[in-house]
Structure 1
Amino acid sequence: MKTNANSVNKGSSFFSKHADVLVPVVLLVLAAFAAIFHAFSKMDLRFYNIMLRLSPEVEHIEDLVIVDIDDESIASIDKNWPWPRDIMADVLIRMKEFGAARAVFDIEYLTPSEKAVADDLEQTARNEIDSAGQSLTESVDTLFEAVSQGTISSDEAKTALEDSIGGVLYEMKRNIEDGFNKDNDDYFARAIQFFGNANLTVNMRNIGIRREDSENAYVNERFLFSNVSDPHNLIASGNAYSVREEGKTVSAGFIPALDRLVRRAAGVGFTNVVVDKDGTRRRVELLCEHEGKYVGQLAFAPLAAMLDIQSMERTSHSLLLRGVLSSDGTRHDVRIPLDSHGRMLINWLMEPYENSFVHIPIWRIYNMEKEEAVLAGAVQNLLSADLGLLNEEDREKILSAQDFAYEYKNLEHEKSRLLRKCRGFDVNGKALKGGITDDDYENYFSRRRKFFSRLNEFAQSVKNISSAESVPEISRLCEASEGFCRDSQTLEEMLSGSFCFIGNSATSSTDLGVTPFSKRYPNLGTHANIVNTILQKAFITELSALWGIALAFVFSMLCIVLCRNMTQGKKNAVGLSYVIATVCIIVAAMVFLRIYIPVFIPLLLAVCIYIAELVVNFIRVNGEKKHLRTSFGSYVSPLVVAELERHPEKAKLVGGESKIMTALFSDVKTFSGFTETINNVAGEDAGAEQLVKILNIYLGALSDEIMNCKGTIDKYVGDEIVSFFGAPIDDPDNAFSACEAAVRMLKAEEKFNIEYKDMLPVIKSTGEPFYLHSRVGLNTGNMVVGNMGTEKKLNYTIMGNNVNLASRLEGTNKVYGSWIMASDSTWKAASSSEKNKAKNLVARHMDFVRVVNVDKPVRIHNLIGFEGDIPSARLEAAQLFNEGMKWYLNGIETPAEKKNHEDFKKAIACFKQAAECYPEDLSSDVFIKRCSDFLREGTPSVWDGVFTMSQK
């Protein structure tokens, strides 16, 4: 026995001597586990936002352009979103003319749109007939020339001519018929191919839309990357992790855009984004595995095509892009660092969305259609204008505008002809039946540039002829021409060579997200930030929190070892250095090197080690806390002990502080009868022992619920419990905590009566056990709390009128047939608490009561529990009771006016329904009697709804 004692003493001595080293080691292990299991990840994300704000802002690429479908565009073009797809088709054709290099649609075109009737059907038919004639003339000329040169025989020419005529006439017929049943999807699809480098979407989640196997096979064969090396299947595992993070109802899928659109696009990319646990978008997957190939992210896929990446390799923490084409024609490799699940951290621009990158409201591009139509109309109006006041030479000059009208029709025919060539691409990306050639584009756009340039020169020349003011159509033509040329030049300067992102950024859009710099950031800008991060190579490398933990531990141990012989004050001062150094180094790595190390756990480790060292040193030189536990722990709550340990000076002070708290009084119903029954059954001496035993268990169960809800037990007065909420630990929701404790006390009471049924005395008259039931009173208000007494005897307690009111409210339960009675101040504070939103306290709202020795009446409320725990019948009864109470109290706002007796009749009806719905509802009987008495005896001259208590 002596040897064992010595061993224990030696062990304790060893721990005491080396606690300053052993405790940090234990904390190191705990921190490592916390990092491995990603504890405190949300706190780390907040610190990440702060460090990102401290970092130098990344520059943005000028050629990245965001084409916004903003509020102004929706109001200007079409208020009904989504728009008819011919609008986007016209925009794409304009963007091509203005030199845009690439277009990425952040819009999912997953289903066909409805057919429409062409607005210009008559003109379309005429244009188609003219275009067909022109095409036939060209075909005939070509065939006769071939026959004359002997290239083909006359029979072959005849067959070719028949095919040509049949094809042109069929195309003309189909296009005219389409005017009656306009297919905007077809027009949009042709515009996509006309643009040349348009990228559409693939949704990588199962959203309930199916595609034919042939459609998916086309996308898989043509667009998915096959030059990706991933020997350890890291991409697929990272994709699976992202799907799991989105929720249980989400599953992987593969839903490309509408097939007829995809077959004319230059590429596709997936739209799905990564949202961190705090709801913020910081990172993005660049690749998604699908059937052995890989889909690129919406912005990354066209970027990979632009950079002509030769191959990609997925390593443990990066994506290596091999053979990236530089602007000077050389090739190099780019390594993109990835997080532990294969996502790239986006280096966001810090400016607000509208101030970052180049933004063009889409209405400005689409408006060119209107301006061109106005200009074409101005030419026609000039031809039909009254030229009577002009001389013959000037009239002939103006009438020469007929050439422009004719040329404009030819340009429209040429546009239609080129769009007819847009028949899609095969799986190798080769245009079907040749498509549009570079010469076609050059010829068409060159003709348009020359046309509008000559038209503008013409407009300026006729503006200066004599008597021009007599022909207002001249000035209108000049204004239309000048505006069109000016706006065309501006847009060409903005769009030439641009990498465009098209999508909805209107305030009504649901496609908004949270970024480290904005609470409402259009996700359209996310794609631009992704491309900008990669092109600027402004990558952020994320390391494991274990690196920071190691850093914090090494610094702390160095300081501890070096400071062992210092005084306590110097140890405390030097100890702060390793806390500060840990944070500074991690922040500096992010700011200057773009290396992100999660800082919270390393910081927490450093702080905990610092605190632990303070505690170890304090324990060595001070034993006051142990004395406080011994002295006070037996008669005050654990929370009070904890408060005294933090502030031992409070144990020496007499007095207290005033604060808003909630007092809870509980008292056992008919306790005297309970005591008498025990004595009758067991005798005086044995009965007293039995009473104490039962009461200790019963009050202990109720007290546990009080303390579990942050309450403090003040005292026990026989069968009564006096307690309060809101001290010594501040609790802003102390009213709700008290209400919750009261509800839980009744549940604990019910459980006690079942478990200890055999211990309870039996009532002879009924043969049933004498069950214990407590009534509870609650009041919230200003109270004085603190240590009251002398140096020899202190009691941590509460005082004040609001405390007394809680005691009186406990007594009102006897009159009202209830168990939990709360004052109006308690009910208002509890029901408006944030905590109540999840649980929803239910109460029967009573009248006003004037308790003994208190003149001011108070509204009272009978708590019956939380909504989810209450039987439906009792809930319905409570609602009926509250409806009755409205009629009962009706008129208290105007007490001088006579009370309407019909209100009592309506109240009685509601109270009777409540009693029938829930027969145990004794309060309804109380108010039925009161209403009946008022109907029989009359109401007071002043009706204020106040009931005056005659006893406590």
Structure 2
Amino acid sequence: MLNLSEEKRQEYLQIAIGIGIGLIFFLLSFTVPYERVEFLSLDARFNLRPPIQQNPDIATIDIDDRALRDEGRWQDWTRDKHARVIDVIHSAGGAMVGVDIYFSEDSQQVVHLQDVLRASSLDEVVGSLRDYDAELAAAAKKAGSIYWGATFILNEGDGSERPSELAETNYSRLSHDVLEFLFRRGSCVVFDAKMTCSVPDAVAPQAFPIPCLVEASRGIGFAQIVREADGLVRKYPTFIQYRAPEDEEHVYLFPSMGLAMACEYLQVPLKNLRLHFNKHIEIPDAIMPDGSRRTLRIPINQRGEMIINWIGDFKDAFRHYPYSSLLQLQDRETLSRIKHFLSLQDTAIFDDPVLLMNATASAFPGVDSVPECIAAIYGARKYEEALESGTSEFSPALFQQVFAIAPEDAPALFEGQAEVFENVRGHYQMLHFLKSNPAISLEDAAKATQTNPGAVDSHYRRIQALLRAGGPQPSDRPLYFPEPVMLEGKEISLNELKGGVFFYGLTATGTHDLNPMPFNPRYPMVGAIANVFNTIVTAQFITPFASRWKLPIFVFIGFFTAYILSSRTTIRGSLFTMLFLVAYLLFAYWLFVNRRIWVDVVGPVGTILVSDAVIVWYKFNTAEKKRRFIKSAFEHYMNPAVVEQIAKNPDMLELGGKEMELTAFFSDVAGFTTISEQLNPPQLVELLNEYLTAMTDIVLKYNGLLDKYEGDAIIAVFGAPIHYSDHAAKACFVALDMQEKLKQMREGWKSEGKPQLHARVGINSGQMVVGNMGSKTRFDYTVIGDSVNLASRLEGVNKQYSTSIMISEFTYALCKSDVHVREIDLIQVKGKAKPVSIYEVLGRASESLPPGLEEVVNHYLIGLQAYRKKAWQEAIKAFEQALAAVPDDGPSLTYLNRCREYLSAPPPPDWDGVYVMTTK
């Protein structure tokens, strides 16, 4: 059976906890709450990263709040308004337009009231009916680059039943003929019906373009979004599969609008795509914007969904052209072209308004704004003529006279032309002013004309340009130059639209096409298609980390976190754990920014944090149990402060020993056997407890460790379990204080008629093994070794010399500056070959010896030197002098008797002064 230490067992248990927590988070990763939190971490990475590459061709055309103010409620918009946008893009050379608006129903033909009032017959009324669907289809067909958006009703179940509430016309939108047409057009991919894939299954079209628009389109792309569990849009389906009711042999895959347009942009037919569901979509031999050829792989999940690499908030991504600004650009362009056309005509054409209108309409067929342009140019010309004739103010009365209109109509018509007149007047005045003052600055010109610089700026720049070109030409007349269309403080022109890829849709506040995404809780979804397109054509795909690696990663993180915590102290372990957590977060962020790899953050971070919390709690709980055990086990054997330190570091007391230099202490009551015979057991126990309590308090006072009691004997050790260097001195101080305390206690016992107790102490210092000795279930913290045994022998040696405190030369070497001693002898204890010098402790070095004792010691030391020289008579004399001072001095009396013995029976010639002990 594997025999593990407690430390290893605890370490393995903590590692098992970390691995277990990693497994738990792996299982949680398949739950919706986990997914929601992980999505939040992904959103944070989107928001924190630096800007990513944007394809400069991409732009949006926004039906914004201003468009609804200018054109009316969205519900009332007729489809000619969208046709105008397509015309503008086509005429400017735009590459393609994705229309994120659904035209799934035929619009009604209408006739305007003014046309009815002008009609002279019913045929004229019928002839004035406008077919807006036909106009939109004609614009799309002319452009040849329009992608219509579509939606499908998705099968949320097993697909075996089709929803009964769908009208039959929904299916007719995708009849067999339509499907064949779309397939030939390259707008869908056809597979054998036996093919199975897990992309969303459409049971019927929901909002599919009407037939005339389908025929006029470049392609059809579905524009449905996928919301995550928290409602945000992060993924986008690449394909939807549709099985037509009348065609059981085939399955049709419709691409998303973003994918379809990206394939067109990259010049890769849809049929060339290689689909590897739950892996990637391969776009082979794609021609990138820089002209290079690459094979792109779009990472997708099992449902064919790609992750949108969002650029940022809507306003920060791509170019944006408001609907109204785009039409303004077209109107400015149309006005300029008509103005140029009229400058080439005979001026007499302006004398016949009907001729003027018919000639211009013929030159610009299908341009709805011709009447407005003619009115503006005609009015500007008339006003400029009035200014030339000296008229400074153009009042409604003068307007009525010049234009020969009814007086009651003049105010309203004048109001409609007021902006034109103001424009002409400003340019006219600036022309004549700059002719006279060609070098004047804008600021001075503004002062002279009493106009603020902002208002006069465009007039000043325009006239300066004309003057630098030699002055106004016939094509510049009349001097009507509408203000440039400005966007974010910059002038825009139709030239910017050339080669652009446009996404046209709703962005107005309160419209239905706003959804939450990582940067904005109300993001226009036309921008989602643009982001999908940009993700593909710039090959900036986000790849989720392979799910097959999730389990190993979670388990490793749990293991590594637990290993860090188990192999270090709690504080250091937690600190390293937090560093590991920060390192992982930085690594995950680096992968996302530099490699576009999305690795889980919630699981690993959760594993680290929970492992840290659980293991720290476990270590604290285990340590607390150890502390409580240590306190209960040692509070009666050690100083409380020492017990508290050991409790803070229980590893000191792990089973097993450690060799250290310590001081062992043995004390025993002299003649205790005789004393015990004088007392009955209760009296003996009472006396012994009183003695042991007093002596133990002194041991603990000096941070000694009470090893054990053996009857009347006290065994202690100094310098463990918390090591301190002055352990020898403290052991001696304890022995001195014990003798002083016993002296006081004997006075009390004497008055109580109790026996007088005397204690002998043996002290030795040296290397000894200290630690918990015993079994795993029962052990004692103790010391063992020869050094301990010597201390025990020294306690007994006291009897030979009638001393109280005996220490070895090893202890004396450590505390010679702390205590007064006298050398007693050089002895060889039983069982040992090497002799040891022993000393009697007389007092603290910080205190003087009593005068009588000092005299005794001086005589004693003279006698000891003579003794070792075998000068027996000289030695006897010195010892007798010592005994004269203190008659009961044990060492002097011992040596006196020994010298007398040697006088009568001298030791052998090789005698070295060593006294051999024959008893323990």
- TM-score by structure 2 length? 0.49
Larger Rg: 2
- TM-score by structure 1 length? 0.48
